Amino acid sequence: MMNLPLYPDGYSPKPPDEIEIETLELVVYPDRRRVFLHLVVTPFTERPNLLIAVRDAEGRIAAELSIIETMHHDMEFTLHLRTPGDTAGDYTLTAELFYETRNPPQSRAETRFRVPGAPAQP
């Protein structure tokens, strides 16, 4: 019988109090209206919740995503920026991991990014 590992070597599931956001990476798509997000949390025995929000430079929500009791510790999402008109500018993406309550979150990660201006037309 073949043994297929579910987790990398030495990376076994942990109880809820040891779960953290480990990786938060993003890439702005060429259309400047979508953001690719790669999120990794500690492998878990109990499924956590996540709240992801993208805010523009003025603090307005440009994208938001709620994940309830995720089944996966390594996740990828595409967020659509709801900013009307041109999306160029500075943004902050915040991810919060929680179980029972979000106040305060058990783990929080934040990254800043810039959506470039539209390329010049020839």
Distance CA 59, CA 42 (A): 29
Is the distance from CB of 20 to CB of 54 less than 8 angstroms? no
Note the pLDDT tens digit of each residue in 83-114.
889 999 999 999 999 998 888 999 999 999 99
pTM over 0.95: no
- Name the amino acid, one letter, at 13: P
Is the distance from CB of 61 to CB of 51 less than 8 angstroms? no
Distance CA 2, CA 69 (A): 30
Note the pLDDT tens digit of each residue in 51-85.
999 999 999 999 999 999 999 999 999 999 998 89
CATH class for the domain made up of 16-114: mainly beta
Is residue 104 reached through a cis peptide bond, with omega within 30 degrees of 0 on the bond before it?
yes
Domain map of the chain by residue range? Answer: 16-114
pLDDT band at 11 (very low <50, low <70, confident <90, very high): confident
Summarize the confidence of residues 29-44 as an average pLDDT.
96
